[in-house]
Structure 1
Amino acid sequence: MASPRGLVLLLLLLVSTTLTSQGLPSSSASCCTQLAKHIPKNLLPRVTKVRLQKKDGICSLQAIVLHVENHLKCMDPKNRFLQQWVKRHHPNPQ
């Protein structure tokens, strides 16, 4: 028979694996690690949401995160064209 402590650890492991497999990101998984500078022409019309990523200790880069269908595109926040596009199309990014 397994010890109660062993069962608790096993249960915690199963719960964390289940949550991760269901797509709930950990803090590191939700941070951009690379930035794209080029914006494909067909990308912007498909953007459904815009989020600003801050360099705050959790994430190591500032980024404009574009939600496109089932993908996240991490863009360079210094891109002036993108800055203007965000102001026009998504004036209150999260």
Structure 2
Amino acid sequence: MKQVLVILTCLGVLIWTVFGAPTSIRKSCCRKYGTRLPRLNKITKYEIQENDGRCRIEAVLFFVNGKARCADPADAKVKKLVELVSQREERG
């Protein structure tokens, strides 16, 4: 009976830890790059995904209507979009 209680306590702590973690820890990673880039006026923000062991590729995530679109950070068009979105955010 004591073993069952210990196991249930450990499972409870594990579940609480996983679901109580900040969303950045639980977020999914880009696994491949999209073929089409979103238009500048549709992008609300962007984030950089690094190859940190959890995510296997480096990527730029452009957010459009709350959904992330993955893009290749080495692509010249992606670099230009990142620059334009950054400038737009700086202006306010």
TM-score, length-normalised on structure 2?
Answer: 0.67
Mapped partners of 1:59, 1:10: distance in 2: 26
Q: Does 1:67 align with 2:63?
A: yes
Greater helix fraction, Structure 1 or Structure 2: 2
Distance in 2 between the 1:51 and 1:74 partners? Answer: 10
Query: Which runs of 5 or more residues in structure 2 are unaligned?
Result: 88-92
Unaligned runs of 5+ in 1: none
TM-score, normalized by length of structure 1?
0.66
Aligned length: 87
Q: How far, CA to CA, are the matches of 2:35 and 2:75 in structure 1?
A: 7
Q: Aligned pair in 2 of structure 1 residues 77, 13: CA closer, same or farther (>3 Å)?
A: same
Q: 1:79 deviation in Å?
A: 2.1
1:38-57 superposed matches below 5 A: 38-40=36-38, 43-57=39-53
Q: Percent identity?
A: 25
In 2, Cα distance between the equivalents of 1:78 and 1:12? 41
Cα distance, 1:53–1:25 mapped onto 2, change above 3 Å: closer
